[in-house]
Amino acid sequence: MRQHALFQHINRFVQLEENEFAEIIGYFQHENVPKKGVLMQAGDRFVKDYFVLTGCVHMYCVDHQGIEHTIQFALENWWIADYLAMQKEQSTSFYIQAIEGSELLSITIANKKKLLLDFPKMESYFREMYQIGYGSYQTRMKYILSYSKEEIYFRFRDNFPDFVNSVPQYLIASYLGLSAEYVSKLRRKSFS
């Protein structure tokens, strides 16, 4: 089963036996979402943490002018959630939407708390995930603050070719704080 991908991912960071995973997987729900299907929307109170088995999803917010701003992507074997809303058990101000048909495992706040109590080694696993995620956020901010718009795009393209090849250009532009037209111009420039 595809959920075995989570077992393999956990074992990259902490040692987990098959019988432990058989219990752990019971805390999760399996979800299939079609392309452009919405997993979470602003105002939702009961947010979940999602592990992507297949496909690609993104988190975004909508500003006061109605413009969408991509905050985060998640490809296979990545986690995505509004972690502050989960921690504070409050409503989210973000949306999570499938970019393509996706298969995910989700865990509720209550189930995650119980999981961490029942399997303390999962606390270490999630700490690793948060550190990696926060480190990625810091790198993104460094790019935005330190590089020209052109450098931001080319560094992103070189460091994350999977995204550039599988995510629509307008979403990459949104994530990098660039216009879709400017990204299109840069892509043409790089092919000439």
Secondary structure, 3-state, 103-123 = EEEEEEHHHHHHHHHHCCHHH
> Is the confidence at residue 154, as pLDDT, over 90?
no
pLDDT at 191: 63
Q: How far apart are CA 25 and CA 44, in angstroms?
A: 24
Q: How far apart are CA 164 and CA 148, in angstroms?
A: 19
pLDDT at 149: 87
Q: Which residue has the tokens 């905050």?
A: 71
pLDDT tens for 155-170 read 888 888 877 777 888 8
Is residue 2 within 8 A of residue 53, CB to CB? The reply is: yes
pLDDT tens for 178-190 read 888 888 888 777 6
Beta-carbon contacts of residue 57 (< 8 Å; ≥ 6 apart): 33, 39, 50, 73, 74, 80, 96, 97, 98, 99, 102, 104
Q: What average pLDDT does the structure give for the chain?
A: 91
pLDDT tens for 9-44 read 999 999 999 999 999 999 999 999 999 999 999 999
Please give the domain boundaries of the chain with CATH numbers for all domains. Answer: 5-119 (2.60.120.10)
Q: How far apart are CA 133 and CA 148, in angstroms?
A: 24
pLDDT tens for 105-129 read 999 999 999 999 999 999 999 999 9
pTM to 2 decimals?
0.89
pLDDT at 1: 60
> Is the confidence at residue 81, as pLDDT, over 90?
yes
